[in-house]
Structure 1
Amino acid sequence: MRFFSRKLIKPEDLNAHGTLFGGTVISWVDEEAAIYVLCQLGKGNIVTKYMSEINFVNSAKLGEVIEIGMETVKFGRTSITVKCVVRNKFTKETIISIDKIVFVHLDEFGKPTPHNIIEPVNE
């Protein structure tokens, strides 16, 4: 698992309980995963097709730094599947984990199309 992105938890990222809002972290994960997949494919027009269960393990608080890690799980004909862990940068405690995030490569008409990649281009 490689950790590419870090976020500082700010007041606007908090929920009513004063901890990191789940919707915010999922938005960060979706963006980071898309960037990761585009770098893996080295090209593309992709969409998020599926996210498996999101396991909220621990919370994050104001002022903490989290980091988002990605790892390629598999390449399909038109898809790529990654897994994600969001953790506290300093304690290494897991905030959330997602075992499968599936992206599909699309053609100019929005239809699934082969990406012709069998291993990562860049990491």
Structure 2
Amino acid sequence: MVFMTPDPELDDHQIALAKGREGEAKIIGHIAWRVETPADVKAFYEQFKAQGVPIHHCISHAYEEMGNTVSCYFLDPEGNRLEVYALVPERDEARINRPLDLDKSVDEIIAQASGLVQAAAH
């Protein structure tokens, strides 16, 4: 796998290239859209739920270069996995991925993504 970015200070990658899948696998592996704030991610999440869009999972990714994310993965009508994400200002020095509960307030979501509190199990 190869990760490419025009600005490694801003993003660890904007394009990732990987070997194709065998057989009947979906063509698209993953597409992500970066939005301005965690509140924007929550708004997309709420809209997806209201419209019956399948939510795959919600997670905070921890990247050394750019910090932590609030990420919502969802499925398009063909079953491709897509993501909407935003960076959080606080960094979790443990740099581990954490599940998120996007039904919480934006402040609580940011605290989860920063490793200050854990998401409740659903």
Query: Would you call these one fold, judging by a TM-score over 0.5?
Result: no
More strand by share: 1
- Place the TM-score, normalised by the shorter chain, in its bin: under 0.3
- 1 or 2 for the larger relative contact order (CA 8 Å, sep ≥6)? 1
What is the TM-score when the length of structure 2 is the normalising length? 0.26
What is the TM-score when the length of structure 1 is the normalising length? 0.25
